[in-house]
Amino acid sequence: MFKKLKSIQKEFLGLNERNVKYIYPSNKRKDYKLADDKVLAKQIMEEHNIACAKTYAVIENIGEIPAVWNDMNQYRSLAVKPANGSGGGGILILSKSEDGTWMKGKESFTNEQIHLYLANIIMGVYSLGSNDRVLIEECIIPHSFFQSIYDDGVPDFRVIVYKHQIALGMLRVPTDASDGKANLHQGGLGIGVDLSTGQMTDAFDGNSYYDVHPDTLKQIKGIQLPYWDEIIELSLKTAEVFPLKYLGVDIVIDQNKGPLIMEVNVRPGLGIQMVNRKGLSPILKAIDNTIKQAS
Amino acid sequence: MKIQFGVHSLIATLIIGSITAIALKMKFGFFNQDQSEREVHYSVQYDFELLANSDKEQTVKAFIPVSDSRQTIKPIQFSKAKISQHNQTNQRATWDVDTATGKQNINYEFDVTGRSQRYTIDPEIKLSAVENSYSEFTQETEFIESNDSEILELMTKLKNEQAQVLPIITSFFEYVQGIPAEEIKELMTAKEALVRNAASCNGKSRLFVALCRSSNIPARVVGGLILNPDRKKTSHLWAEVQINNVWIPFDALNNYFAFIPSNYLTIYKGDEYLVTHSSDMAFDYFYTIAENGTNQSFLESFNMWHISKQTGLSERLLLIMLLLPIGALIVAIFRNVIGLKTFGVFLPVLIAISFMTTGVTLGIISFLLMVGLISLLHIPLAKWGILHVPKLVVMLIAMIFAMIVILYLGVELNVETVGTLTFFPVVIMTITAEKYARYVVEEGFKTASRVMTQTLFVTLFSYFILASPSVHIYLMNYPELLLLFAAISILLGKWIGLRISEYRRFGWMIS
């Protein structure tokens, strides 16, 4: 019993240790906002020519909403995000139907409803009550590879980068239960990835592991991810331009543009350990050791 | 490494500092059960002003206090006087009036250190072991009419044929204490207090003594001053009952049963006049009482009783101030060591503190009712697309209005406890309830209710610690305990072990 507890302790990274040993020493508090605020993060990525979704507009004041939204009519589809939302909260994907009304999936939105939605973001509904900005950007068309696994929502790839080395990675795919969202705690499916080959390992839904997507039954285990080398390169390059040494990088693969950075995260979750059936503690220690030996 | 050293020395300083202070306080016995048990230091002065009307030999006499087990008297200065033993227990100063001069001042100044004393009466002691019909303290006197038929009748009724002393005295005490208090300047006898059914200290004390004496329990009145910074003419009278050769104090006016507070200065025993003077003079007097803080050390005065007294802030307010960080530490331990989720860090603490006034049952019921109300309200408000901040205002109004209705109904239905509801931290409750409602929408009812249950659990746990009287007493005496809690919090903040919930989260993968 005691031995088992000891081995859990040795293998897995808990919230306390993640914060005290990795996040606080690696990331300066004043730099958190560069990652937390999607608008700031995109500015940095755009400055350094890092591939990411095109920004259509940023709205800061409620008064600007009608004019800016009117301007958005030129696009066929777009993504609305609170700059400081967390865990995918407040993200609205809209596309225009044949007759020109905005739709979220099969649900239609009037301009008035959208104005209210944007105003709520600015009033801070998704950012714990403090004022926020709205980021409107290009809507990603998921790569056809993903459509073959699950044909809804936007799957993304999350890596944890520590001191410019990739520690763990996983693919997040929506499920019937997750309403198009790929986040693990919203019902998304996490898929482990073998970092050396880019092949998918097990899929994890929070309770059990699968070889196939539990809703579509499409094979997952052993399948090679497309753009694998580019994904690794893009993650490392992104970690390079942010002054953060422990971060989560979220990447989507667009049908036309290939891998794009979606966002970066200063407090990447710990569920990735379950998805990969692998604890972060030994991996992070190994990274520290190689750096120590190198210097 | 340098930073590490800084943290460790800070932790060490906090721990050593607080423990040393507490240890020293314990060693010197600086610990009080409550305000009235605090050791007090006063300087007292008798000021007599007189004008002799004839050249006959005239005197002024006053009893002066002596040191005993609970009060230390140090004379400072006084007009030349003859000090004599008045009877076995009392000392009296006599001043000869100089008839040659007209107006004349007589002073007697002394320092007092007073301590409280609590007595316990063995409930097994039989009345027969205490009775003594020959003692001078069971005889009838002019003002203590213990043989009066009405007093005897009352005594028999109150005594109710009980054999033990404690219930008999308790019954006498409760009766006298129940007589409405009235400020009466004139001397009032035991009988007068009984007939009038209203009395000040001297009427109540004499009646209590009379009841004891009428059942052959030795008792006497005691005179003195209640010490508080003042210049006054009022002296005080209380009673003592002799049980097993110990004189035990009782004050039915201020409700002290077998207890004497530290600021009671005993000056004389028995039914005497504190000050007497020859008839042929104009006489005025004052007792000037001032607090003597100077001889109180930092350690002795660094406690919340002292701060409360000096600032006039209520003890309860100061206590709540001290309880907040402790509650927060409890919540921090639940979150970071056990891994429970709560809505906010301070919310469980504030609710726990409000439970201290409302009581747990009423507290939980109103907590759940209000969360339910807000959750129900959230559904239409979200559907109509009301903006976030105005929505919070609407919810707050609903909450307050519901409270007003409950208060109104409570008064109508005569539910006394309903008034305590106002102590509920309504604003924070509203925000939590809103958080809960949004959690329900975003994460589902199951997750939201789990977090709510955990919040309630942490709240209840905090309540049982925060509401404990011994926690209160230690905090009020040793506010430096907070430094110790600060050290624990820093240690907790540096602790990187897995949370208990994480062993479950990760553990199943091993094996």
At B344-401, the pLDDT tens digits run: 888 889 889 888 887 888 888 888 888 888 888 888 887 787 777 788 888 888 888 8
A59 and A203 co-located in one domain: no
Class of domain B117-260: alpha beta
| Residue of B500, B506, B508, B511 to mutate when probing chain A, most A C-beta within 10 A | B506
Domain shared by A193 and A76, yes or no: no
In a domain, A3, yes or no: no
Average pLDDT, chain B: 86
Q: Is the Cβ pair A4, B495 closer than 8 Å?
A: no
- Check whether B21 has a pLDDT greater than 50: yes
- B496, B500, B503, B511, best to mutate vs chain A, most A CBs in 10 Å: B496
Q: Are residues A170 and A191 in the same domain?
A: yes
* Pairwise CB contact (< 8 Å): B497 & A9: yes
Q: How high is the pLDDT of residue B84?
A: 86
Do residues A159 and A185 both lie within one domain? yes
Is residue A100 less than 8 Å (CB to CB) from chain B? no
The answer to whether the beta carbons of residues A280 and A273 sit under 8 Å apart is: yes
Which of A11, A15, A126 is the best substitution to test chain B (most B C-beta atoms within 10 A)? Answer: A15
Tens of pLDDT, residue by residue over A264-277, are: 999 999 999 999 99
Same domain, A133 and A242: no
Q: Measuring CA to CA, which residue among A14, A283, A287, A1 is closest to residue A164?
A: A287
Question: Where in chain B do CATH 3.10.620.30 domains reside?
Answer: 117-260
Q: What is the Cα–Cα distance from A205 to A207, expressed in whole angstroms?
A: 6
Of B495, B509, B511, the CB nearest to A16: B495
Instruction: Give yes or no for a contact between A131 and A118, defined as CB atoms under 8 angstroms apart.
Output: no
Which residues in A lie closer than 8 A to residue B496 (C-beta atoms)? 14, 16-17, 20-21
Q: Are residues A260 and A182 in the same domain?
A: yes
Of A8, A16, A279, Cβ closest to residue B496: A16
Starting at the edge strand that comes first in sequence, how are the strands of the sheet with A209-210 ordered? A209-210, A199-204, A189-194, A165-173, A156-162, A246-254, A258-265
What pLDDT, on a 0 to 100 scale, did the predictor assign at position B281? 83
The whole-number pLDDT of residue B296 equals: 65
How many folded domains does chain A comprise? 2
Q: Phi and psi for B156 in degrees, rounded to 5?
A: -60, -40
Please indicate, yes or no, whether residues A156 and A130 belong to a single structural domain of this protein: no
Hey, is the C-beta of A9 within 8 angstroms of any chain B C-beta? yes
For residues B69 and B85, the answer to whether their CB atoms sit within 8 Å is no
A4 occurs within a structural domain: no
Chain A neighbors of B336, CB-CB under 8 A: 15-16
Residue in the structure block whose two tokens are 């930092």: B298
Average of per-residue pLDDT values in chain A? 90
Per-residue model confidence as pLDDT tens digits over B232-289? 988 999 999 999 889 999 999 999 999 999 889 999 999 999 998 888 888 899 999 9
Range of the domain at A262: 11-35+46-52+141-295
Are the beta carbons of B28 and B298 closer than 8 angstroms? no
Residues A64 and A179 in one domain: no
In a domain, residue A40? The reply is no
**Statement: residue B43 has pLDDT above 50:** yes
pLDDT of residue B345: 82
Query: Per-residue pLDDT averaged across B498-503, rounded?
Result: 90
From B491, which residue of chain A is nearest by alpha-carbon distance?
A: A20
Instruction: Please state the ipTM of this predicted complex.
Output: 0.79
Smallest CA–CA distance, residue B325 to chain A, in Å, is 21
Answer whether A120 sits within 8 Å of B388, measured CB to CB.
Answer: yes
A72 touching chain B per CB within 8 A = no
> CA B249 from chain center: how many Å?
18
Q: Rounded mean pLDDT of B99-112?
A: 83
pLDDT for B416 beyond 70: no
Is residue A17 situated within a structural domain? yes
pLDDT at A221: 92
Residues in Cβ contact with A294 at an 8 Å cutoff, skipping those fewer than 6 apart: none
- Does residue A104 form part of some domain? yes
CB of B42 within 8 A of CB of B271?
no
Would you put residue B161 in left (φ > 0), alpha (ψ -120 to 50) or beta?
A: left
B440/chain A closest Cα distance in angstroms: 13
Q: Which of A77, A104, A139 is the last residue of a domain?
A: A139
Residue type, A65: I
| Mean pLDDT computed over A163-172 | 94
The answer as to whether A6 is a domain residue is: no
Mean pLDDT across B434-453: 81
A61-110 per-position pLDDT tens digit:
999 999 999 999 999 999 999 998 876 778 898 999 988 899 988 889 99
pLDDT of B44 > 80? The answer is yes
Q: How far apart are CA A64 and CA A78, in angstroms?
A: 18
pLDDT value of position B34: 65
User: pLDDT per residue over B215-244, tens digit each?
Assistant: 999 999 999 999 988 899 889 999 999 998
List b or e across A62-88, with b for residues whose CB sees 16 or more CB atoms inside 10 angstroms.
bebbeebbeebeebeebbbbbbbbebb
Size of interface A-B (CB pairs under 8 A): 64
Predicted confidence at residue B465, as pLDDT, reads 95
Can you tell me the mean pLDDT for B177-200?
88
Of the pLDDT bands very low, low, confident and very high (cuts 50, 70, 90), residue B293 is low
Cβ-based contacts of A91 with chain B (< 8 Å): none
B60-87 pLDDT, tens per residue?
899 999 998 889 898 888 778 888 888 7
Q: Which of A123, A128, A151, A106 is nearest to A65 (CA)?
A: A123
- The CATH number that applies at residue A115 is 3.30.1490
- Look at A89 and B506 and tell me if their CB atoms are within 8 Å: no
Considering chain B, tell me which residue range(s) the CATH 2.60.40.2250 domain(s) occupy. Answer: 40-116+269-296
- Rounded to whole angstroms, the maximal C-alpha distance in chain A is 66
Query: In which residue are the tokens 């206090």 written?
Result: B65
What is the model's pLDDT at position B2?
47
Predicted confidence (pLDDT) at residue B6 exceeds the cutoff of 90: no
Specify if A2 maps to a domain: no
- Per-residue pLDDT at B297 exceeds 80: no
- Give the separation between CA B412 and CA A235, rounded to whole angstroms: 68
Distance CA B58, CA B96 (A): 6
| Pairwise CA distance, residues B497 & B500, whole Å | 9
User: Closest Cα partner for B336 from B499, B494, B507, B455?
Assistant: B499
> Which pLDDT score is estimated for B1?
42
**E strand or H helix that includes residue A281:** helix A280-294
The DSSP-derived string for A115-153 is: HHHHHHHHHTTTTTTS---EEEEEPP-B-HHHHTT--SS
CB B316 within 8 A of CB B310: no
Q: Please name the member of A7, A21, A186 whose beta carbon is closest to the beta carbon of B496.
A: A21
Of A106, A139, A172, the one marking the end of a domain is: A139
Q: Residue B236 — φ and ψ, nearest 5°?
A: -130, 150
Give B416: exposed, middle or buried? Use CB within 10 Å, 0-12, 13-18, 19+: exposed
* CA of A188 vs chain B CAs: smallest distance (Å): 13
Report pLDDT digits (tens) over B320-339.
Answer: 999 999 999 999 999 999 99
pLDDT classification of B408: cutoffs 50, 70, 90: confident
Q: Are residues A173 and A278 in the same domain?
A: yes
A274 and B509 in contact by Cβ < 8 A?
Answer: yes
The CATH number covering residue A184 comes to 3.30.470.20
Q: Are the C-beta atoms of residues B262 and B116 closer than 8 Å to each other?
A: yes
- Chain B from 427 to 486: CB within 8 A of any A CB: 442-443
Query: What distance in Å separates the CA atoms of residue B254 and residue B237, rounded to the nearest whole number?
Result: 11
Mean pLDDT throughout B150-159? 91
The verdict on A240 and A276 lying in the same domain is yes
Tokens of B276: 């007497």
**Does domain B40-116+269-296 fall into CATH 3.30.2040.10?**
no
> Measured between CB atoms, does A89 come within 8 Å of chain B?
yes
Burial degree of B206 (CB within 10 A; 0-12, 13-18, 19+): buried
Q: Does B3 touch chain A (CB under 8 A)?
A: no
Per DSSP, the three-state class of B190 is helix
In a domain, A27, yes or no: yes
**Residues of chain B above pLDDT 70, percent:** 95
Do A177 and A188 lie in one domain? The reply is yes
Residue at a domain's end among A79, A112, A139: A139
Q: State whether A117 and A170 are in the same domain.
A: no
